[in-house]
Amino acid sequence: MKGAKLIAVMAILVLAATAAHAGILENVKKAGEIKVGVSGKVPGFSVPDQNGVWSGMDVDFGRAVAAAVFNDPGKVKFVPVTTSERFTALQTGEIDILSRNTTWTFQRDAKQGIDFCGILFYDGQGFMVNKKLGVKSAKELDGASICIQIGTTTELNVSDYFAANKMSYKPVVFESADESTVMYDTGRCDVYTTDASGLAARRTTLSKPADHIILAEVISKEPLGPAVRHGDQQWGDIVRWTLFALINAEELGVTSENVDEMMKSTNPSIKRLLGVEDNLGEQMGLTSDWVYRIVKHVGNYGEIYDRNVGPDTPLGLERGPNALWTQGGLMYAPPVR
Amino acid sequence: MTVQWTPKPDLPPPPLDTGFAGWLKKNLFSSFWNGLLTVAGLLIILATVPPFLRWALINAAWVGDSREACIHLGEDGISGACWVFIKVRLGMFMYGFYPDAERWRVNLAMVLLALAALPILMPQAFEKLRTALGFALAGTIAVFVLFGPGPGAAAALLLVLPFGLPHVRLKAIFEKVDAQPSAGLAARAAALALAGGIVYAAARGFEGNALPGPLAGVFIALLLGLMLLDRAPAAAWQWVFLFTVYPFIAYVLLMGDAYGLAYVETHLWGGMFLTLVIAVIGIATSLPIGILLALGRRSTMPVTKTLCVCFIELIRGVPLISVLFMASIMLPLFLPEGAHFDKLLRALIGVSLFYAAYMAEVVRGGLQAIPRGQYEAAESLGCGYWRMMGLIILPQALRLVIPGIVNTFLGLFKDTTLVAVIGLMDMLGIVKTALADTEWLGFPKEAYVFAAAVFWVFCFGMSRYSMHLEKRFQVKRH
């Protein structure tokens, strides 16, 4: 089989110059599964359980796309990719979607040959301190020692923030998040900083979680979202509108439980969304009931959020900026019409 | 008058020089500084070992299957290790994402490897034909009982045949046929065709791929070689089987997609199983390649020598991690879109070539230690290059560098953890994913201690075996 693959590689090498590439959607349908690049190491976003079953926000988003394309959320293959190889994996077609808590930045969008498809989670860097310090705001952190992971944007953000506020700090850098958490717990530094979603996860691992508070200030913008390879508009549209469909479904009150009743709704927006009226999905290469499939199998955005990182999970994250725009958050999706 | 001189009875040695006190004085407190060192050592042991034991054993949580079992404190108010976390995750740590129902295939592949390698690793235990045959039969029956008829047949092929084949004289059979001059060639061709046909038919079990043809070809080539060889001892057959038949069986077992076995993609491989796959393949390929490279580097042929020197120095000049990055990030960019090498295959090639370069230098060290007289003696006996190397130089050279070779193997085994940087879930990689499970946040110590213990067991085993080998091949020099 390896031999066959090698021969195939050679053949493709010869043909590559002339052959036109089929769209990703075609390839995905032919393969019968979508390859989604995930991290595998971020609590609440993508992590396998003890039986090897994946869960998390990033994972559920991949399942939503699979539900839209195949009407089966199981037809998705999760490929763990590291931070350094994630963009290459996307460019070379090793994965079809990168759903790996990746921050949407100008450079990545413009130069890396990939396209971001919206924002799945608004994250931002925050601070955690021990209640004993009596600190109420990040502005009071002048002179504090801060546990940071080396070589991350968090390191640069802290430096920017303290310089902008004319404060000083002592960085205590560590190689891994685990290490810095343990060191923070033993009192090696006053402040622990990372993305807000990570802070909540890390707090649960401290010896006395209740003794620590997460300060309200968020000092950076970390919009996390799925990305696809640059150049295939149709596939980009499918991924982008899967995300918008999830948000629209929550806004219109369509959940995995009531979606069957909602099919009989008289609200024209819901009718359009679920494909009762018009056949919008078909214009994208899918079926008209694509949103019905997504919501039926995976749920709407709110359900995904609550299931993986919401207040009832060990992470216990409030919606905050990830609430719908109608409820004071930033989640806003263009209408399906 | 003579006086009978009777010596007084010997005084007993000073009490501080005998018994336990004497041993203490001699070994631990022979001087002031030695005494100080002993006390310091004791203090360090006292400061570290009891707290570790209290954490790892006494206060540890062993029973249960949820996080709640671990949220308790020991009698002295200090929480202990949460081994429940390891217990719950053990399947993942060992097999990765390999589907539950198919894990017996991994077990079988490992059992077959152990059984096939055992006679090679400890030949002195299998010197008597009766023990050897008994072992082979017992192994076959055990596999048959545990895994079923198919695996039993594979085990028989792998274990019994190497002991049986030395007693078959192919050449003698053909010599009888050769008595009728015209029939000789035709008989050989017919035998080859028949054997090739059998293999081809067997390989048809693979649904819809190009395997049967090449496989039958390889088998015919192998047979052709054997016809020329006539008899080979059982040990030789065991090596041949381990390097030809076993990889095939293991490949079919682990990958599947043949003979009714479900296809298991390599991206599902993980845990200790993946670590062993990389380590075993790395070890099995890097030594032969390394020996060839070492011979090439000492060759007098300019092209061969230059190529080998360049390869060795290039590979030794870069870290393994950059080789892996090249294999996983740069290589796919050169290939056209949609054409993929398997990620595991890329990593395997990277690890093998990298360690082959190191192995070459170890072996070269051994070659340099062989006196010039040995080469000359071999040449004066009329040996050609390969006979001289294979029969006289290499056996001596390799024996000299056993510690170096095993050292390189140990390095390889531990460096398999580096494949985590290209997204392969080896033992350590899977341990790290377990740490991110929201249900089980906060047990990194347990996970890392467990991983370290597993690695230590393997490495210590290899190191002991190397000492055993050194003793076995020790030559008394007068």
B411-456 pLDDT, tens per residue? 999 999 988 888 888 898 888 888 888 888 778 888 999 999 999 9
The reply to whether B39 and B93 lie within a common domain is no
Q: How many CA atoms lie within 13 A of B285 on its CB side?
A: 15
Residue A127 bridge partners (DSSP): A193
Distance from CA of B46 to the nearest CA of A (A): 22
Nearest to A12 among B333, B339, B432 (CB): B339
CA B442 distance to own-chain centroid: 34
Structure confidence at residue B63 (pLDDT): 82
| Band of pLDDT at residue B356, cut at 50, 70 and 90 | very high
The ipTM is: 0.79
Note whether A41 contacts B436, CB cutoff 8 Å. Answer: yes
Taking the C-alpha atoms of residue B80 and residue B57, their distance in angstroms, rounded to an integer, is: 8
A63/chain B closest Cα distance in angstroms: 18
The least confident of A228-237, B163-172, B388-397 is: B163-172
Locate the chain B residue with the closest alpha carbon to A181: B442
* Chain B residues within an 8 Å CB radius of A7: 210
pLDDT in the model for residue B246: 84
In this predicted structure, the answer to whether residue B222 has a pLDDT above a threshold of 80 is no
User: What's residue A73's pLDDT?
Assistant: 94
Number of domains in chain B: 2
Q: What is the pLDDT of residues A208-227, one digit of tens each?
A: 888 888 888 888 888 999 99
Contact assignment for A85 to B435 by CB distance below 8 Å: no
The CA distance from A157 to the nearest CA of chain B, in Å, is 24
Q: What is the pLDDT of residues A179-191, one digit of tens each?
A: 888 889 888 899 9
Whether chain A has a CB inside 8 Å of the CB on B89: the answer is yes
3-state secondary structure of A171: strand
Answer whether B255 touches A (CB < 8 Å). Answer: yes
In a domain, B431, yes or no: yes
Distance CA B396, CA B176 (A): 40
- Whether B280 and chain A come into contact, CB under 8 Å, resolves to no
Mean pLDDT score, A10-32? 64
For B472, the domain range is 82-98+264-478
Chain B residues in contact with A185 by the CB 8 A cut-off are none
Is B421 an 8 Å CB contact of chain A?
yes
Q: Which of B337, B340, B426, B428 best tests the A interface by mutation, with the highest count of A CBs <10 A?
A: B337
Most confident listed range (B40-49, B89-98, B149-158): B40-49
Residue B337 in any domain: the answer is yes
The answer as to whether B291 is a domain residue is yes
**Residue B101 — very low, low, confident or very high, per pLDDT cuts 50/70/90?**
confident
Q: Do A50 and B88 touch (CB under 8 A)?
A: yes
Q: Does residue B362 contact residue B405 with C-beta atoms inside 8 Å?
A: yes
Query: Chain B closest CA to A138's CA: distance in Å?
Result: 26
Asked whether residue B342 is domain-assigned, the answer is: yes
Q: Say how far apart CA B286 and CA B465 lie, in whole Å.
A: 19
Q: How far apart are CA A130 and CA A140, in angstroms?
A: 13
Assess whether pLDDT exceeds 90 at residue B238. no
- Give the pLDDT of residue B226: 63
Q: CB A9 to CB B335 under 8 A?
A: yes
pLDDT at B79: 74
Say what percent of chain B tops pLDDT 90: 27
In the predicted model, is pLDDT for residue B477 greater than 60?
no
Nearest CA distance, A56 vs chain B (angstrom): 9
- CA B37 from centre of chain: 39
Least confident span in B85-89, B147-151, B411-415, B422-426: B147-151
Flag whether B437 is in a domain. yes
Q: Is A18 on the interface with B (CB under 8 A)?
A: no
Set of chain A residues whose Cβ sits within 8 Å of the Cβ of B441: 43, 201, 204-205, 314
Chain B residue numbers touching A2 (CB-CB < 8 A): 342, 345
Give DSSP secondary structure letters for A86-131. HHHHHHTTS-SEE-S--B--HHHHHHSSEEE---SEEE-EEEEEEG
Whether B17 is in a domain gets the answer: no
Look up the pTM and report it: 0.82
CB contact under 8 A, B336 and A49: no
Mean of the per-residue pLDDT values of chain A? 87
DSSP conformation class of A139: G
pLDDT at A49: 87
| Interface contact flag, B444 A178, Cβ < 8 Å | yes
What domains sit in chain A, N to C, each tagged with a CATH number?
Answer: 25-122+223-327 (3.40.190.10), 125-220 (3.40.190.10)
Q: Let me know if residue B284 belongs to a domain.
A: yes
Reported confidence tier of residue A17, pLDDT bands at 50, 70, 90:
very low
Best mutation target among B331, B441, B445 (most A Cβ atoms within 10 Å) is: B441
Closest CB to A41: pick one of B209, B339, B432.
Answer: B432
Separation between Cα atoms, residue A122 and residue B296, nearest integer Å: 59
Q: Which 3 state secondary structure label does DSSP give A29?
A: helix
Residue A2: band (very low, low, confident or very high) from pLDDT cuts 50, 70, 90: very low
Is B263 a residue whose pLDDT tops 50? yes
Say which CATH number the domain at B380 has. Answer: 1.10.3720.10
pLDDT: which is higher, B279 or A21? B279
Segment A308-318 shows an average pLDDT of 86
Q: How many angstroms separate the CA atoms of A60 and A301, rounded? A: 10
* Residues A147-170: tens digit of each pLDDT: 988 767 788 889 999 999 999 999
Please tell me the predicted confidence (pLDDT) of residue B152.
81
Assign 3-class secondary structure to chain B: CCCCCCCCCCCCCCHHHCHHHHHHHHHCCCCHHHHHHHHHHHHHHHHHHHHHHHHHHHCCECCCCCHHHHCCCCCCCCCCCEHHHHHHHHHHHHHECCCHHHHHHHHHHHHHHHHHHHHHHCHHHHCCHHHHHHHHHHHHHHHHHHHCHHHHHHHHHHHCHHHHHHHCCHHHHHHHHHCCCCHHHHHHHHHHHHHHHHHHHHHCCECCCCCHHHHHHHHHHHHHHHHHHCCCCHHHHHHHHHHHHHHHHHHHHHHCCECCECCCCHHHECHHHHHHHHHHHHHHHHHHHHHHHHHHHCCCCHHHHHHHHHHHHHHHCCCHHHHHHHHHHHHHHHCCCCCCCCHHHHHHHHHHHHHHHHHHHHHHHHHHHCCHHHHHHHHHCCCCHHHHHHHHHHHHHHHHCHHHHHHHHHHHHHHHHHHHHHCCCEHHHHHHHHHCCHHHCCCHHHHHHHHHHHHHHHHHHHHHHHHHHHHHCCCCCC
**Residue A140's closest CA among A217, A201, A222?**
A217
Q: What is d(CA A122, CA A322) in angstroms, rounded to the nearest whole number?
A: 6
Within a domain: B10: no
Instruction: Please state the separation of Cα B124 from the chain's center in Å.
Output: 20
CA distance B449 to B86: 10
- Tokens linked to B426: 């080896």
Mean pLDDT of B122-140: 80
Ramachandran angles phi, psi of B66, nearest 5°? -140, 170
| A286-290, B261-265, B472-476: range with lowest mean pLDDT | B472-476
Residues B423 and B455 in one domain: yes
Residue B289 distance to chain A (closest CA, Å): 21
Burial class (CB in 10 A: 0-12, 13-18, 19+), B477: exposed
Give A248's Cβ-side CA count (13 Å radius). 20
pLDDT value for B211: 58
State the nearest Cα–Cα gap between B97 and chain A, in angstroms. Answer: 5
| CB of B345 less than 8 A from some CB of A | yes
A119 has pLDDT over 90: yes
Q: What is the pLDDT of residues B155-214, one digit of tens each?
A: 877 777 777 666 666 666 666 665 655 556 676 677 777 777 776 666 665 555 555 566
CB contacts < 8 A, A to B, total 121
Mean pLDDT of chain B: 82
**What is the DSSP code (8-state) at residue A274?**
H
Nearest CA in chain B to A27: B338
User: CB A88 to CB B333 under 8 A?
Assistant: yes
Using the Cβ of A32 and the Cβ atoms of chain B, whether some distance falls under 8 Å is answered with: no
Residue in chain B closest to A93 (alpha carbons) equals B338
Report d(CA B53, CA B56) in Å as an integer.
Answer: 5
Q: Which of the residue ranges B2-6, B273-277, B334-338, B448-452 would you say has the lowest mean pLDDT?
A: B334-338
Among candidates A224, A231, A225, A237, which has minimal Cα distance to A334?
A: A237
**In terms of Cα–Cα distance, which of A60, A317, A48, A329 is closest to A197?**
A317
pLDDT band at A64 (very low <50, low <70, confident <90, very high): very high
CA gyration radius for chain B?
A: 29
Give, in order, the Cα–Cα distances in Å from A176 to each of A41, A129, A152, B257, B444. Answer: 12, 19, 10, 40, 11
pLDDT at A265 over 50: yes
